[in-house]
Amino acid sequence: MSVTSVRQSRCRECVERIPWIAPECVKDAANLTIAADKWGFGTTLWEICYDGEVPLKDKKLTEKQRFYEAECPLATPDCRELADLMTHCMTYDPRKRPFFRAIVRDIDLIVTQNPSIKPVPSPEVDPTMFEKRFLKKIRELGEGHFGKVELCRYDPRGDRTGELVAVKSLKPENREEPCSNLRSEINILKELYHENIVKYKGICQEEGGQAIKLIMEYLPSGSLKEYLPHNKTSQKTLYSYAIQICQGMEYLGSRNYIHRDLAARNVLVENADRVKIGDFGLTKSIKDNEGYYTVKGEQDSPVFWYAPECLIHCKFYLASDVWSFGVTMYELITFCNSAYNPMPMFLKMIGPSQGQMTMTRLVNILEEGQRLPRPDMCPEPVYALMRKCWEKSPEKRITFKSLIDQFTLLHATASST
């Protein structure tokens, strides 16, 4: 296991242990003090009061993480003193938790005063439900064919201290669609938990209306397409981005999802060292027995990022994403310079054409074995890997796993200037 996958699995383990693990230990697992045990005691007390129920048992990992992030309390029992004690033990500030001696004293008191303690189901706060009235738009972040993404502050206190979030909604003209891409994107993103996949925070449902918004973490540097032209990072960093994208894609594939829209515009930058895959609007689940997904007449497909089997048979395999990764790598290595944008590059190769003719010609040149040419600044070994992503038959293509190994080797020997 690589260093990053060990870190990823430790991080996952911490989130799985919510709400037993103290919040300060999720951020830093080494942060073990007696205060963490006080939190754990609070959770244990909860289990006792609720007859051995499992707290937050139906929550997905993203939702559990959100629960701590928003500093939510667990539901508390009817007995006021017990509820207070539990809340006190599970205070988010470790310094404010009670001394164990005080806990023992409180419990003694409760037991003498309340001979029978009954558990009461009370509704839990749901930190993944965002109220529309508290979402304050700051600016637009981006726009696609179906939707738009805005930067908002979620400010329930109304004092501008609330968190910044990215909010994706459908454009008004697409709102009528009964099973929109956005709903499916929400359901998929909620299931995913990986350090190289944009984090789901929740949804915002308009009162009475059908419209739904997706709330995600806000990544200040936008997509690689906006970031790379202004930040000429070293090749070593580009290889690190490649590894991270492949790790996110490997995880996605292991969950039997195909992304179907992997491109630099859909890879978001958290900071100079970390990128995350975003935009799961076209992502589909594949059935194990078939191993592919068939599209039925979708418009506006990112054709220049697509493998021949997607264009000819409308079939998408996990290996079809590998092809798109090759094109994405082409964008990375050229720093998303518009002079090397895959679309005009392909259009130059197929000559002047329009509409359906463009598709037919694109398929023809790909079938003839023509591929995007090696850009001047692209090292031979990187181009060789791109070519392995662009093998005509999906079975022959390199896998994300091997790509991770190969880029790790390149990363190890590249200089950081």
Among 119, 144, 162, 308, binds ligand ADP (CB under 6 A): 144
Query: Could you say whether residue 119 binds Mg ion (CB under 5 A)?
Result: no
Strands (E), 156-291: 163-170, 200-205, 212-217, 257-258, 267-271, 274-277, 284-285
| Binding partner selected for residue 321 from Mg ion, ligand ADP, none, CB under the kind-specific 5 to 8 Å limit | none
Joined together, the tokens standing for residue 345 give: 């590059």
Q: Is 202 in the site for ligand ADP (CB under 6 A)?
A: no
Q: Does 279 engage in binding with Mg ion (CB under 5 A)? A: yes
Residue 268 sits in the site that holds ligand ADP (CB under 6 A): yes
Q: Provide the 3-class DSSP secondary structure of residue 217.
A: strand
- Distance between CA 95 and CA 22 in Å, rounded? 12
When computed from its CA atoms, the radius of gyration of the chain, rounded to whole angstroms, is 25
* Minimum CB distance to Mg ion smaller for 82 or for 165: 165
Rule CB under 6 A: say whether 270 interacts with ligand ADP: no
Is residue 266 within the footprint of Mg ion (CB under 5 A)? yes
| 245 scored as a contact of ligand ADP (CB under 6 A) | no
CA–CA separation, 295 and 262 (whole Å): 16
Binder among 141, 152, 252, 410 for ligand ADP (CB under 6 A): 141
Q: How far is the CB of 157 from Mg ion (least distance, A)?
A: 32
Which lies closer to ligand ADP via its Cβ, residue 190 or residue 397? Answer: 190
Min dist CB 277 to ligand ADP, Å, is 10
Under rule CB under 6 A, residue 147 binds ligand ADP: yes
Q: Residue count at the site for ligand ADP (CB under 6 A)?
A: 22
Helix (H, G, I), strand (E, B) or coil at 303: helix
**Of these residues, 261, 273, 279, 321, which one is catalytic?**
261
Among 193, 218, 304, 306, binds ligand ADP (CB under 6 A): 218
In b/e form, how buried is each residue of 334-366, taking b as 16+ CB within 10 angstroms? Answer: bbbeeebbbeebbbeebeeeeeeebbebbbeeb
Chain position carrying tokens 């310094």: 95
Dist CA 39 CA 45 (whole Å): 10
Closer residue to ligand ADP (CB): 144 or 291: 144
Partner from ligand ADP, Mg ion, none binding residue 278, C-beta < 5-8 Å depending on class: ligand ADP
The interface region with Mg ion, picked from 140-148, 204-212, 344-352, 380-388 by CB under 5 A, is 140-148
Residue 159: active-site member: no
284 CB burial (10 A radius; 0-12, 13-18, 19+): middle
Alpha-carbon separation of residue 371 from 105, 323, 324, 340 (angstroms): 75, 11, 13, 13
Return all residues near 392 (Cβ < 8 A) that are at least 6 apart: 308, 366, 367, 369
The only residue of 42, 202, 278, 302 in contact with ligand ADP, by rule CB under 6 A: 278
Q: Which of 55, 94, 144, 291 lies at the binding interface for Mg ion (CB under 5 A)?
A: 144
Map 310-334 to HEC letters. HHHHCEEEHHHHHHHHHHHHHHHHC
**Smallest gap, in angstroms, from Cβ of residue 65 to ligand ADP?**
16
Decide: is 128 part of the binding site for ligand ADP (CB under 6 A). no
Q: Which of 289, 254, 213 is nearest to 401 (CA)?
A: 254
One of 97, 213, 265, 371 touching ligand ADP (CB under 6 A): 265
Which residues lie near ligand ADP (CB under 6 A)? 141-144, 147, 149, 166, 168, 198, 216-219, 222-223, 226, 265-266, 268, 278-279, 281
Residues marked active site are found at 261
